[in-house]
Amino acid sequence: MAAPVFILLYNSLFAHQPLDFSLISIDIRALFFLILFYPVVEELAFRGVIQEVIARKTKQYSAFYYFSIANIATSVLFVAMHFVHHTPQWALLVFVPSLIFGYFKEQYKSILPSIFLHMFYNACSVFLIIS
């Protein structure tokens, strides 16, 4: 419920034009992959495997404010992977969300929160771009 509520709120406050839901309906398959499938795959790989491996190796180092070394390192890798297919600006923009995904993963000791956040983030991106 949070994503659609957020989008509608965002649009009512800041957007100048209504959402074009006709565009959204064009490609349900693409939206499925983008909002449901890829967040699961990416979170399993990055927060589920990479961040845990790095955390095991760096547990002796203290956290940098709220963000552990493992979280920061994983986010750097996450950004690096995005350089492959995206512009530098776009790739760099995923750093902060990645840190937040990692923070929630550590706080809840589960990747489910980060998966849901990732889904929410992707959904927001799509809706805001279309609108």
Partner 1 sequence: MIKNNQKRILGLSLITALLLGSSAYAGKIIGANAADPYVSTTPPTQSGFGGWDLTDVVVNMTDVDYNVISKIFNTGDGTYDAMVVGDSFESQIMTNGEHRGNLHGKDWPVGEPAGIKIVNGDSLNNGKPDNCIMTTSYLSETDNPAGVNGYLDSATPAPTICSSAFQSHKRFKINMLNAMVAGKNPGEYGNPVDVVFNLDPTDTNTANVRYQVLQKINNYSGVRLDGYKVEVLDASGAVNSAVTLSLGLGENDGSDIWSWDSMATFSHGLWGAADGDHFPTDGFFDIVAAGLKVSGHNTSVITGGPDTLGSNYTALFGYWLPSKWQPTGIFWDDDNDPLTDAALVAFWGTAPDAAVGTAPSWHKGMVDNWAIPTDSEFLAWSTDPLYNMGEIEDTLNLGLNYIVNVGSNVLLANKFIIRITPHIALDQTPPSYADENGSIDPELPDITDGPVAISPTPTFIIGDILTLSVKDEDQNMDPAVKDTTTVTVTTDTGDKETVTLTETEVDSAIFNATIISEITTASPIQGDAKMNVIKDSVVTVSYVDNTHSDTASTLATIVTDDTDDAVDSSGDLASSGGGGCTYNPNSKSFDMMFFFIAALGLLFPFRRRFLK
The per-residue b/e assignment along 92-127, b for 16 or more CB within 10 angstroms, e otherwise, is eebeebbbbbbbbbbeeeebebbbbbbbbbbbbebb
Least distance CB 12 / partner 1 (angstroms): 18
Binding of partner 1 at residue 61 (CB under 8 A)? no
Tokens of residue 43, six digits: 């979170």
Answer for which of 2, 23, 36, 112 binds partner 1 (CB under 8 A) is 23
CB 94 within 8 A of CB 82: yes
> Residue 22 burial by CB count (10 A; 0-12/13-18/19+): exposed, middle or buried?
exposed
Binding of partner 1 at residue 8 (CB under 8 A)? no
Helix (H, G, I), strand (E, B) or coil at 102: helix
Torsion from C-alpha of 95, 35, 112, 53, nearest 10 degrees? -50
Which C-beta is closer to partner 1: that of 17 or that of 62?
17
Answer for which of 1, 12, 56, 65 binds partner 1 (CB under 8 A) is 56
Query: Segment 75-104, which members bind partner 1 (CB under 8 A)?
Result: 81-82, 84-87, 89-91, 93-94, 97
Binding of partner 1 at residue 129 (CB under 8 A)? yes
Binding site for partner 1 (CB under 8 A): 17, 20, 22-23, 26-27, 29-31, 33-35, 38, 40-45, 48-50, 52-53, 56, 81-82, 84-87, 89-91, 93-94, 97, 111, 121-126, 129-131
